[in-house]
């Protein structure tokens, strides 16, 4: 079992668009195993490959006791809206109301290159959207607007102050 450390806000890998997976080989299966081991830590709902320092389009999820993964996801069929609190392992200690689609369909592949479709509603839909955003170099705070965004940026500066020049 390999639980990989989570990269924290400020690490450039979190702001870089991840590369598509092109080889469904033993190296990818090892990455998926690490992602799934890492997401099994209590309190975790999802981990994207960039969060463990790997710039590939892959993520794992752990929702309602179901652990899974997806490679090269594409989201479609967004429906409805939910506006619940969202948090991120790469922004520890922060959480803000975030608008997401209430349901979504994710299409991609499993670790063996077989087509995979996940129909998510509620919290699973939120997790699929959150993790797919990571693969585009987007953090949930980037989707916030108005007063919630201003509050999030203030709180982020408070917990992660800018480096001081000498």
Which alpha helices (DSSP H) does 105-145 contain, by range?
Answer: 123-135
Strands, E, within 25-114: which ranges?
A: 46-48, 58-63, 66-79, 82-87, 95-100, 103-109
* 112 labelled ligand-binding: no
Q: Any catalytic annotation for residue 131?
A: yes
Of these residues, 27, 36, 81, 131, which one is catalytic?
Answer: 131
The answer on whether 130 is annotated among ligand-binding residues is: yes
Rounded to whole angstroms, how far apart are CA atoms 108 and 90? 24
**Dihedral sign from CA coordinates of 115, 3, 21, 104:** positive
Catalogue the active-site residues. 131
Q: Which residues are annotated as part of the binding site for Fe cation?
A: 88, 130, 134
Residue set of the binding site: 88, 130, 134
């Amino acid at each position: 079992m390999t639980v990989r450390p989570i990269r924290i806000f400020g690490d450039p890998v979190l702001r870089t668009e991840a590369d598509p997976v092109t080889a469904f080989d033993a190296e990818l299966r090892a990455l998926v195993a690490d992602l799934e081991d890492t997401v099994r830590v209590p309190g975790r709902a999802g981990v994207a490959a960039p969060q463990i320092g790997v710039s590939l389009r892959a993520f794992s999820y752990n929702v309602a006791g179901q652990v899974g993964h997806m490679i090269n996801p594409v989201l479609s069929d967004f429906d409805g809206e939910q506006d619940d609190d969202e948090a991120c392992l790469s922004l520890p200690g922060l959480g803000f109301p975030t608008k997401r689609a209430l349901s979504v369909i994710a299409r991609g592949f499993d670790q063996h290159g077989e087509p995979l479709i996940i129909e998510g509603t509620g919290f699973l839909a939120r997790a699929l959207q959150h993790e797919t955003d990571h693969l585009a170099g987007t953090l949930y705070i980037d989707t916030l607007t108005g007063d919630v965004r201003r509050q999030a940026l203030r709180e982020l500066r408070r917990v992660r102050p800018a480096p001081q020049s000498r």
